[in-house]
Amino acid sequence: MSRVDYYEILEVERSATTDEIKRSYKRLAFEWHPDRNPGSRECEERFKVISEAYQVLSNPDKRARYDSFGHMSSEGLFTEFDFEAGFGDIFGDLFNEVFSGAAREKSRRGNDLRYSIDLTFDESLTGCEKTIKVPRQTACSGCGGRGAAPGGDVPCQSCNGRGELQYSQGFFAIRRTCPTCGGAGRRILKPCKECRGEGHLSIEHNLTVKIPGGISDGARLRMRGEGDAGQRGANGDLYIDVHVEEHPLFRRDGDDLHCTVPISFVQAALGDEIEIPVPGGNSAITIPAGTQSGQTFRMKGKGVPRLEGRGSGDLYIDIHVEVPVKLNRTQKLLLEEFARASEEENVPMAKRFVSKLQELINK
Ligand SMILES: [Zn+2]
Ligand SMILES: [Zn+2]
């Protein structure tokens, strides 16, 4: 939620009349309207703020509250304001003529498309380039997207070629895409042979997608303008959903990786050099004598490359000491001998535990 002054946003004095506010809003909204500045996020944001300011200052009650309490009081009013839904009403009221063209254009924006990409775990870490085949609607070159053979269309009679119908409903003027011509504004008498009057053809495009290293399962990439062709160049977008295969050994946690490595109790007691997996290969680390189950070794920077910013997360080697199972006779005898040779000092945790327990009993 913006903290900017609504009067400044609308470029009016604090003493401005409702008419002055309305005039100023009309001028600014016209200038910043997203349909006049396609693809500009800045304009879209600015336009929202302008609309927000107008919503408050054009309403005497809200304006009085804003004058007394500032943004604090109005915040609650706008968190639920749906800007997309809001546009229609404001425009129906104020800009019927001005924006009817723009609105029509908007209704003919191409469809957004969705595509799924499967990545191996390694690909998700290193990043990769994938070439995908996307069938998408492309404007027919034979008729320039009009769908008619040369000279084969006339203005639609239902909407007089405007592509939309207008009617009033209570307070608001409502516009709808003309159902007869579907918003095209033309009626086709002789369809284009290439596209059979559709105005577009489904053509398979090869697209190269650059997947950044560090991308996670479930991420969605947006490729602007790579969706279906609209008319007058307003293409839809292509959304790419990324699925990452699970790794048999690594578990990802944000930018960090975890790997549980089992070692024998002998290795744990004596210490050892053990082989561990790292992204893209293997590595060796030294486990010190007396390593306990559950102990973790951190390998700095061996985790997932950070999508934003530099560096990588860490790799955590979680040690699991495995107690041997299915002992044979010789092994049992050796262990029993080992037990007899063991001393309290070999097991400090157990020693502490026993002494705590004794204390409790003797209380
Ligand atoms: Zn029509
Ligand atoms: Zn055609």
How many angstroms separate the CA atoms of 63 and 74, rounded? 9
Q: What is the pLDDT of residue 177?
A: 81
**Ligand index nearest the alpha carbon of residue 181:** 1
Per-residue pLDDT of the chain (363 residues; tens, 9 = 90+): 445 788 888 989 888 998 899 999 988 888 888 777 777 888 888 888 888 889 889 888 888 877 776 664 333 333 223 333 334 444 444 443 334 444 444 446 888 999 999 999 999 999 999 999 999 888 888 888 788 898 888 999 988 988 888 877 666 677 888 888 878 888 888 999 998 888 888 999 899 999 999 999 999 998 988 998 876 557 889 999 999 999 999 999 999 999 999 999 999 999 999 999 999 899 999 999 999 999 999 999 999 999 877 899 999 999 999 999 999 999 999 999 999 999 988 999 999 999 999 999 988
- 123 & 240 share domain: yes
Domain assignment of residue 99, yes or no: no
- 87 & 175 share domain: no
CATH of the domain at 258: 2.60.260.20
Residues contacting 363, CB < 8 A, separation 6+: none
Please state the pTM of the whole predicted model.
0.58
Q: What is the pLDDT of residue 166?
A: 83
Domain assignment of residue 103, yes or no: no
Residues contacting 62, CB < 8 A, separation 6+: 55, 56, 74, 77
Q: What is the pLDDT of residue 64?
A: 81
Split into its structural domains, the chain has a count of 4
CA of 214 to the centre of ligand 2 (A): 43
Alpha helix segments (H runs only) across the chain? 6-9, 18-32, 41-57, 60-69, 71-78, 83-94, 96-107, 121-126, 265-270, 329-341, 348-362
Quick check: helix, strand or coil at residue 264?
Answer: strand
CA of 83 to the centre of ligand 1 (A): 28
- 237 & 265 share domain: no
**Ligand index nearest the alpha carbon of residue 187:** 1
Handedness of CA 22, 27, 28, 31 (dihedral sign): positive
CA of 149 to the centre of ligand 2 (A): 7
Last residue of a domain, one of 193, 210, 244: 244
Residue 144: give the domain boundaries. Answer: 113-244
- 305 & 360 share domain: no
CATH of the domain at 89: 1.10.287.110
Tokens encoding 195: 């596209």
- 225 & 305 share domain: no
Burial of 288 (0-12, 13-18, 19+ CB in 10 A): exposed
Residue given tokens 């723009």 in the structure block: 102
CA of 182 to the centre of ligand 2 (A): 16
Is there a contact between 52 and 62 (Cβ–Cβ < 8 Å)? no
Q: Report CA 230 to chain centroid distance, whole Å.
A: 24
Domain assignment of residue 101, yes or no: no
CA of 208 to the centre of ligand 2 (A): 27
Domain assignment of residue 107, yes or no: no
Domain assignment of residue 266, yes or no: yes
Domain assignment of residue 361, yes or no: yes
- 271 & 288 share domain: yes
Domain assignment of residue 108, yes or no: no
**Ligand index nearest the alpha carbon of residue 164:** 1
- In the chain, what are the helix, strand and coil shares in percent, each to the nearest 5? 35, 30, 35
**Ligand index nearest the alpha carbon of residue 155:** 1
Q: Which residues surround ligand 2, an ion (CB under 5 A)?
A: 140, 142-143, 192, 194-195
- 230 & 275 share domain: no
Domain assignment of residue 100, yes or no: no
Q: What is the pLDDT of residue 232?
A: 56
CA of 203 to the centre of ligand 2 (A): 13
Tokens encoding 308: 């934003």
